[in-house]
Structure 1
């Protein structure tokens, strides 16, 4: 399942590089468990467990996207809790399972795309 999700992350990243407006800022967050020691190091640095995978900032707005493998993968309890915290703070998180899902979500939010991404 993780390989499918990694492939989806790469596909989404490649699509966003071409589709997002030139003045948008986009980053991917790596939250995968890499052992107790690495988890403790990230926690000391302020990394939040359950933070969404993709963050886009454009025109004073922030878009948060959690990617899940197509046909599988569900939110962990930590992710559900974090998404609820984000929503209580006034943000929102979209859960997407495809490149089209991400692009459709961003378009529905009013974020203009520079061009179509062909599969």
Structure 2
């Protein structure tokens, strides 16, 4: 019996380690979302379209309702220079790579004129906001005149 409980404990530790590895993007995703919601002006929308069904049946329902494999993790909606605009971020853990579906969707969005960025940290998100010249309360991306960089 002692060997059996040791094996059970070892399996539980391995299962926990696998869950932690699978969620390597989760903490990054949450911190980037929090950063964006705090640093973009009131009225801007930062949203995540959950796109990971827990079963084939649920996946089929979501696909029928418009879910698309490879859709970016975060959508940022706000006023652009020519009216309402959207920007997209795909969150990846360090070393994580885009899937084929993610590359295809990213290419389609870019071809349609939408900015898309792969983000691995809050610093990457900060850089994207600066590069896209979005308004921000983040003092680290503001120039000396007080305007967004």
| Fold conserved between structures, TM > 0.5 | yes
Give how far 1:49 is off: 1.1
1:65 aligned to which of 89, 107, 119: 89
Q: Which residue of 2 aligns with 1:96?
A: 119
2:66 counterpart of 1:46: yes
- Aligned equivalents of 1:90, 1:14: Cα separation in 2: 26
Give how far 1:33 is off: 4.2
- Aligned equivalents of 2:104, 2:53: Cα separation in 1: 17
Give how far 1:115 is off: 2.9
Q: Which residue of 2 aligns with 1:109?
A: 132
Q: In the comparison of the two structures, how many residue pairs are matched? A: 116
Query: Which structure has the highest helix share of the two?
Result: 2
Contact 1:20 1:114 in 2 (8 A): yes
| TM-score scaled by length of structure 1 | 0.89
* Residue ranges of structure 1 left out of the alignment (5+ in a row): none
- Aligned equivalents of 1:115, 1:106: Cα separation in 2: 10
| TM-score scaled by length of structure 2 | 0.72
In terms of mean alpha carbon deviation, does 33-42 or 76-85 score higher? 33-42
Larger Rg: 2
- Cα RMSD (Å): 1.5
* Residue ranges of structure 2 left out of the alignment (5+ in a row): 1-20, 141-149
- Aligned equivalents of 1:56, 1:2: Cα separation in 2: 25
Of structures 1 and 2, the one with the larger relative CO (CA 8 A, separation 6+) is: 1
Following TM superposition, the consecutive aligned residue runs of length 4 or more in structure 1 with deviations greater than 3 angstroms are none
